[in-house]
Each structure stands twice: as structure tokens, then as C-alpha cells.
Structure 1
Amino acid sequence: MLRNIGLSLLIYFFKFIFMRKRLTSSGAAIFPLLFLSAVIFTACKKDSKSDPQPGNPDPVNNTAKSDEDSLKYLMYRTMQVSYVSGGRSTTTDLPSYYWYTQVPAIDPFSATYAKAEDLLSAMINKVSPTDRYSFLDRTGSLANKLQNGISQDAAPGEGGSYGMEVTYALDQSNKSHLMVLYTDKNGPASAADIQRGAEITAINGDANIAYDNGGPISQKVYAAIHSSKQVTLTVRKPKATATVTIPLTSTSFKINPILFDNVSNVGGRQVGYFSFYTFSSIYGDNDAPTNTKQVLDQLFAKFKAAGIQDLIVDLRYNGGGAVVTAEYLDNAIAPASAGGQVMYNFIYNNKLTANLSRTGLESVVKFDGTTGGLNLTRVFFITSGSTASASELTLQNLKPYMNVILVGDKTYGKPVGFIPFTLSIYKSGQEKYMGDLYAINFETKNARQEGGYFTGIDVNKQATDFVNVPWGDAQDEHLQQIYSYINTGAFKRDASTERVISNPDSRKVMSTALPSGSFNGMIDYRQRGGIR
């Protein structure tokens, strides 16, 4: 049943398994699951160059189909029939798609679907509005960004990223302004001293950039920020009156997901704070610790040394990422009583659930035996409608073990995630990469079996996001509410209207004005499952 594999692939597998052991910051061992079958069936496109073997029929390569038809066929079969052998297996019944039972039989070769994306939309629309998440990445850039922590908006080898996120915000007259939400410390924008709260007044000399409700102007702005290799921005920096012209060139860089951190004294208590914008993985595809792990290790060592008594985790713009990083945060934050207890549960479709031992899929993830040692009894999270997936997983996992308090706005609502599948075709014995499939494979629930938050998670106290307020500033309405709670045990009355009236420079974020250039979801790179 298993494909023949070369000696080099066997060596790769055993080296990967025996070198996979790693220690978290607390010193507890973790053994992420990645099995031989995963290497065989979903190996990275650069590692496998074998033709499918005769014992495993391959209709795609034995018929005169276009590359696009082949991609549609393999995508459909991976989701609906069996993911084994890249969707080619005819002897296994292991559909990977979580909601496969809701999708009727579809002919993937039908001319109705010109592209694989058209077929995917037709499939997930059968379970709509539940599945607003699944997608196909033809560039492979997402895996490089999230798993390896290398930022790039363009395809590999075609450029990088400016390392910034922008959106529109409203002034007291409801006039829109194009504002910088944040910049990665290691990106070109930050290197050019573009920071949160800066206003962009022109792009490449074009001042026609006012908000148009997702129309051609908004599309033009998005393309310039997220798809170009070079751009010239006219920027008014925070508290400045004059503008400056700043040329930027996109580059690839090591992501630093921590936008800002500090420790402050609030009512005699040491309070740690950090803003975290993406769950880039703590380990790369070469099994080496990433820059994300390094900066998180340093951050929690700093908090521990400071003896913080409260912690504020700012996830207002964090759409998620790798679940292994969510597990890191939960282990670092959780009280000692959580040690060795259930962190969260995976739920799969009925056929995968019936074959857990065969596939090597995890059903339960537990906290490390010894947690991070911060001795916290509560934690505050700042959230918004952009807080999704791995962010939601992180805070949900802590609820059974400590007081979790949310301030800001209701979260996005994504209690489901992906196990990525690489889809390839073979021509003249050579493998051709076609794309990475991210179709929902699992749901998660915490130790109390709480989940199902498809419409989002409610906050304990609402607060308004003003982008002109710097990170960690005591004037941030979220921090004002949290500081009030720390000092008095109660939140203060709403102050958003007063703020706009008293400060004409206030810029209220329009959270859905522009699509985010950041990933929205949660991915388990450890579980590229296959038959053992």
C-alpha cells in the first residue's frame, strides 16, 4: 500500500523523527507527531521527485488532462475521498475535509469550474456560511511565512513584504484617513521609521486614496501595500504637521511577532503587556527554533524576572497561525495547577476519528508537566473582530484554569483549523508543485469541551480602537479599562465619545475597511497525516 521510497527519503525520515525532540521554555519535552506516511504522502515539493508507483493508480497522469484539471481532481479527492498519496489512493477511505458529508458528489473535471478555486468555492458553499475559511495557496508563501517565520507577500523568489498593515480610520467628522496599524520591527517600513499611527496621504504620488467601500481605490491601496515590490509613500508621522516622502522596497525578513512590550506599575502591581500580531511557528520546517521562539523566550524571561502579577496580551490584530505557538503561550501563561492537564481537544470528521491510530493524528494536547512559573491567577486579552483562530484557541485553552478577561470587541469566530496538504503532479518523472490546500480539517475544544464559537467570543468590556494612540500608552482605551479593573475590580464607564470630542486628532479604526494582509486561521504543521 505504501509507495516505494528512496534511501534518501528514509534517511530524512529517521533523522527528522529522532531530532524532533525539543524543550519549551519551562524545560518540558514535547514530541510533535510527524510520521513516515506524512513524509511519503505530503513531503515538501522540493524533496520528492518520484513517479507514483503502478500499485497506486494515478488517473491524472494517465489521461490527457490539463494541469488545472489535475489540480482540481487531486484537491477534490484529498478533501472528499482520501488524502493518501496526494489524493491518488483508490484503496483508502480517508477524506480530510471536516464537513465532507455536506458536499455532494461533484465532477472535478467539469468545465463548470475553470479553476481549482472555482471548484473549491462550489464545494465549501455547500456548507456555507460555516466554511468561510478554506482556500488554496498556489505560491507556497504562506508556509514560508508561518512555519519558517520568513515574511513575504509575493511568491517565493518574487519579492518580500514591507512588514506593515494599514487600514482606514475615521476622524470626528467621519472623514476617512489611511493609517498604519502596525509595523514589524524587522521589516522595511519600521526601518524607515514608519510606525503605528502614521497617516499615509499619498501612494506613488497619488493622493486619491480615500475610502470607497471596497471599490477600485481600496483595491489599488491594498495592491500597493501587499503586492508591489517597490512603493513610495507620503506619510505624516504621529504628532507631526508636515509630511515626508518615503520610498520602500519589499524584502524577506525574519518575522518578529512582538510589536511592543513593557512592564508597568499599576496600583502597586507589576503588570506585563505585549502586543502580538501573528502566530508564526516556534519551529521551522528544518526543525530549528525560529526567531519567534527566540523573542518569546526573551519576553517571558523578562516578565518572570520582573515578577509580574498581571499580564495583558494584545491580540487585537492577530488572525492566528501555528497552533504550536498557541501552545507555547498557554504553557507560559497557565498557572501551576494546569500542569499535565488537558489543554485542548481535536475533533475530526467521522472517518478520521475512527482511524486515529492508523493516521497518527492527535486527539488531545496537554499542558507541559511544569508550566511557565509566572504564578498568575488571571490574564487579560485585548481583542477585536480581527482576533481569530489560534488567538481564540489561546485564550479559550486557559479558561478552565484561570480567570480570562477580554476587553475590546467580539472576536472573529474560527474554532476550526487546517492540516496543510501539498498538491503536486508528475510529468516525465518530475514533480511539479501546484499548490498548498488549506481546507478545514479539525475543530478544537478546550478541557471543558467548550468551543463552537463560529460567531465569535464576547468580551467582558467593550473598548474602542484609536490607531493614533501608541502601543502601551495609558491613553489607550483598552488599557484604561484594564487598569481600572486592576485598581478597583470594576471597569470604568465608556469614554469613546468624550475622547473624540476632546481630541480632534483621534482616529477610530474601521476594522473591516481593508482586507488584512495577514493570515487568518490556525494550522497544525505537525499533523500532515498519512497511513502508518
Structure 2
Amino acid sequence: MTIPLALRPALLVTLVSACLFTSCEKEYNPDTVPLSNLPATNQEVNNWILTNMRYYYLWNDKIPANTDTTLTPDKYFLSLLYDRNNSANRDRDRFSWIQASADELKASLGGQSKTTGMDYKLYYFDQARTTIAGSVIYVLPGSPAAAAGFKRGDIFTKVNGQALTTDTYSSLLAGDVLTFTMGTLVNGVPTDANQTRQVTKVVFQEDPVLLDTVYTIGAKKIGYVVYNQFNPGVYKSSGPTDKTYDNKLDNVFGEFKQQGVNELVLDFRYNPGGYVSSSNNLASLVGKNIAGKVYYTQLWNPKVTADYDKKYNPGWNTQNFITKATNIGGNLNRVFILTTGSTASASELVINGLRPFMTVTTIGNTTVGKNVGSITISDANGRIKWGMQPLTFKSANSQGFTDYPTGFAPAVEVREPAYAMKAFGDLSEPLLGEAIYQISGTRTTARRGVITNENFIEAGSSLDQKAGGGNMFVDMTDKPVK
């Protein structure tokens, strides 16, 4: 049985409303001053945080008995997280987060944010690790960056005429109007190219299905999809009811099925995760002999588990694969998934969920290791503006396997170059080229591991600015918890 998630908001709304109205009616006359117009104090926000964390948080038994509610809400929330600074603990909380705007939190989870429309990585290119150049990893079609001529593999060395350094890059890239000084590689070192491009950030909806195509190599029909976030559709403030992108994937796999695709490459290298429902949708298009089988199970804290077992009956926390007319699993014995250190959460859920049913071969680098999921908690009355995304469950596949907090190591390790990257879909691109070789025996790129720029050290990435620092695994099958 699948939990009726639409009922969860009612549980929390009742609890939150009781706390707020009981404490505030003694101070304010609602006939003269509407409660919704009054700013919540830090104390009220922190009480709201604590009440919800003590019920929903995965490690609610680890929350201290006495907490310092005089802290600002962001610092207070962090003070509740389980062992977050203890790097020796593989199972500590690395991923819960809170934002001052619940509306912005929900929008970013839905793929909508203020952006130029390009994502990039930043690398030090001097021995002292002070000077930085940016490398564009992908550009969203229809975005300001695309209109300005940016493409994957472009290099930039300055922003608004200033060099990027450890101290300056964050503030320079945070602006709304950005003038990039473009660069080129000279003897392997990023160098100014005496060309600039100006881009203005806009609120933009990201389509996560960046590319799909089919390659024919001998008897192999190879389907290839670049998928950058598990997001069902265009963001709506009322919740994830739009299915535009899930439907687009269904159509892609319908085309794969029509063309007789018998090998599949999923490119998750920059996919930080997202909605469980979209993860299940994609896995259900791929899996072999999965009808009626368990995709994954959520393991919540004992309090929630006991309450929901009574309310919804045992099994509420298990999700089966979906029956999909465009499933191509009947033609597949295996799937290849491209991964990097930015591959996380719902992407890893697909890897873990499919492994009991078919061979899953990962190519690239070790994934993040996010075997835990979260829910969105916000105040339905709108008085508390904060939104939080605490971890609330671990995930296990149909065999009960949940132990991947250090990530999935690649079956075939291939490093993506720091600069001068090939376009997605280019068969000479290192990760895709290796997948083609593993499938067909035909090598379309240099031997794996032979990559220039291997010594550049990453300084940061725009992916870190995505929801949750780029690590999302969100139980939002119907709508966020309020």
C-alpha cells in the first residue's frame, strides 16, 4: 500500500496552527491586526522547527533535550542536526537544510530558480590555489546564457572585469548582471581570449531532459538520455501536479521502444536528485520483469512508523514500480549509468532500485552517497516564511540494501576533463565513449583514463547552489508536506 501523501499536510497543519494561534492570541487582537501580517519572532520559528523535528526527523532521538532557542533560525536548525560535523561518522546528517523562504525552497525543488541558464564548475589553475577559471558544463536551451552563445566546454576567466579568486568568486557570480571574460587553453592553462559576453539572470524553469538520441552500432541500438533533475513538470506553487517532464520521458522511451533500442545509457553525471515520483517513473521505464515488484522502501523513525502503521496499515512506506506501456526492459539485460561526484539522491535510488532486477554498470566517478530522503516542511498559514528540508527516512531496495553512504564506486572509472569538454552526445566524449565501448567493443574516444587537465583542483560549482547544495532526494509523490 502506498501512503496517501496528500493526508500528511493535514497532520502538520493542525499541529503548527495550534502552536501559533495559542501563543499569539494573548498578545494581539486579530480583529484589528491580522495575524498573518505579523512577523514571526525567532523564538516562534525555532519552536516550530523543534516541534516538527522532534516528530519527523530521522534521528529525532538524537536531538538534545535542551536547545538554545535564542539562536537565529538557520543556526538553530543546524544545531539540531545529528553529528553533522563528525566526518568519521558515515551515517551523520550531511544533507538536511533550511531556507529563509519556503516559496524559494519549493520552487528550486521544482526546477525553477533565478539563473543565467548555465551551470559550471570552477577550478584552480595555479599551484597556490588562488586563481580560478570557470568551465561551462551545460547550458539550458532558451535561457539567457544560450542566447548569449554559451555552450558546454566554454571557459571564463573573469566576471565583471575581475579575476576569480578564492575570496571573490562567490560574490562576483552572485550578481544578477554578469559580464564574463571568455578564455581559451594555452599550453593547457586557461588564458583570457579578449572576448566578453553579458548575461542577465532571470527566473527560469529548467527542463531536466537535456538530450535524447539513439545510436546504431552494428546490431546495437543504443538509447542515450541526459537527465539533470528528477522533476515531474513545470513548477506550480500549489504543488507538483504538472507532469510535463515525466510525460516527455515517457515519449522518449516510447520512441526508444519503437526504434528497437536494446542497450541504454542514462547520463546522471550532474543530476542531484529530486522527486521520488519521477525517480520511480524513470526506473519503471527501464526495469526488466518488474511488474508488481518493490522499487524501494522508506525507513522512518520509530515514532512516525508506529503512527503511520496504525493510520495507514503496514506497507505504507513501500513503493512498487509503475506499469508503463513504454517500458523497454523487455529488450534490456543491463543499463549503463554515467556518474560523477555530483550524482546524488534520487539518481542513486535508481541505481539501487534497479540492481535487483538487471545489471547496472556505472561509468565515471563515485557518487555522493545519499541513501536518505527528506520532506518539505512549511507553515500552511504563511506566517512563518521559513521552509526546511530535514532528512526523514533511509531508503532500501527490494533486497533490503541501504548501505551506500559513501556512494556507488564506478564499475569503470573515467575522469571528465576540467576544461574543453566535448558536447553531450559526442561519441568522442570520454564518459559516453566508454559506455559505447563497453556495449559494442568499438572505441570512439581515447583509452579511458587518458585525460588532460587531470591535476586541476575543483574550487566550487554552480551545482552547489541548487536545492540542498545539489543533493536532493525528496518524498513529494503528491505534494510537499505543509
Note whether the superposition's TM-score is higher than 0.5. yes
The alpha-carbon deviation at position 286 of structure 1 amounts to: 5.2
| Contact 2:250-2:326 within 8 A present in 1 as well | no
- 8 A Cα contact 1:424 1:435, kept in partner: no
Instruction: State the 1:41 CA deviation.
Output: 3.4
Partner residue in 2 for 1:103:
63
Query: Which residue of structure 2 aligns with residue 340 of structure 1?
Result: 292
Are 1:479 and 2:442 matched, yes or no?
no
Q: Distance in 1 between matches of 2:476 and 2:239?
A: 12
Question: Which secondary structure does the structure 1 equivalent of 2:369 belong to?
Answer: coil
Q: Verify the 8 A CA contact 1:146 1:279 in the aligned structure 2.
A: no
Q: Which residues of structure 2 form unaligned runs of 5+?
A: 29-38
- The answer (yes or no) to whether the contact 1:278–1:321 under 8 Å persists in 2 is yes
Shift in Å, 1:280? 1.9
Q: Does 1:41 align with 2:3?
A: no
TM-score in terms of structure 1 length? 0.75
Equivalent position of 2:253 in the other structure: 300
Which of these residues, 422, 425, 429, is aligned with residue 469 of structure 1? 422
Q: Which moved more, 1:323-332 or 1:364-373?
A: 364-373
Given the alignment, which residue of 339, 349, 364 partners 1:383? 339
Q: Measure the CA separation in 2 of the matches of 1:291 and 1:136.
A: 28
- Do the aligned residues in 2 keep the contact of 1:485 with 1:491 (CA within 8 Å)? no
Name the aligned partner's letter for residue 77 of structure 1: T
Assess, with a 3 A threshold, how the Cα gap between structure 1 residues 42 and 508 changes in structure 2: closer, same or farther. Answer: farther
Check conservation: 1:71, 1:423, Cα contact below 8 A: no
Matching residue's letter, 1:234: T
Q: Is residue 98–residue 349 contact of structure 1 (8 Å, CA) maintained in 2?
A: yes
Show the counterpart of 2:178. Answer: 231
Q: Does 1:121 align with 2:78?
A: yes
Aligned to 1:191: 147
Q: Which letter does structure 2 place at the counterpart of 1:121? A: L
TM-score by length of 2: 0.82
Equivalent position amino acid for 2:44 in 1 = S
Q: The residue matched to 2:164 in structure 1 has which SS?
A: coil
Kept in 1, the 8 Å contact 2:379–2:385? The answer is yes
- C-alpha distance after superposition, 1:209-264 (max 9, x if no partner): 15xxxx3123234xx2xx43222222348999955322212222332112222211
Deviation track 1:349-408 (CA, whole Å, cap 9, x = no partner) reads 001111224555931100124563312111000011111101100111110111100000
Q: Distance in 2 between matches of 1:528 and 1:295?
A: 20
Distance 2:306 2:260 in 1: 46
**Contact persistence 2:283–2:354 (CA under 8 A):** yes
CA contact (8 A) 1:237 1:243 kept: no
Q: 1:146 and 2:147 equivalent?
A: no
Q: Flag the 1:494–1:488 CA change in 2: closer, same or farther, 3 A.
A: closer
Most deviating of 309-318 and 261-270 = 261-270
For the 8 Å contact 1:97–1:440, the answer to whether it is kept is yes
Q: Is the 8 A contact 2:227 2:271 kept in 1?
A: yes
Residue in structure 2 matched with residue 517 of structure 1 by the alignment: 465
Structure 1 residues 432, 525: closer, same or farther in 2, change over 3 A? same
Equivalent residue for 2:119? 165
CA deviation vs aligned residue, 1:119-148 (integer Å, no higher than 9, x gap): 12211154655101111122221312323x
RMSD: 3.5
- The letter of the residue matching 1:402 is M
Count of residue pairs the alignment pairs up? 448
Q: Unmatched 5+ residue regions in structure 1?
A: 1-29, 44-49, 81-94, 153-159, 426-430, 501-505
2:393 corresponding residue in structure 1: 442
CA contact (8 A) 1:474 1:480 kept: yes
Instruction: Tell me the distance in 1 between the aligned counterparts of 2:224 and 2:208.
Output: 14
What is the match of residue 203 of structure 1? 159
Q: Does 1:422 align with 2:396?
A: no
1:327 paired with 2:290, answer no
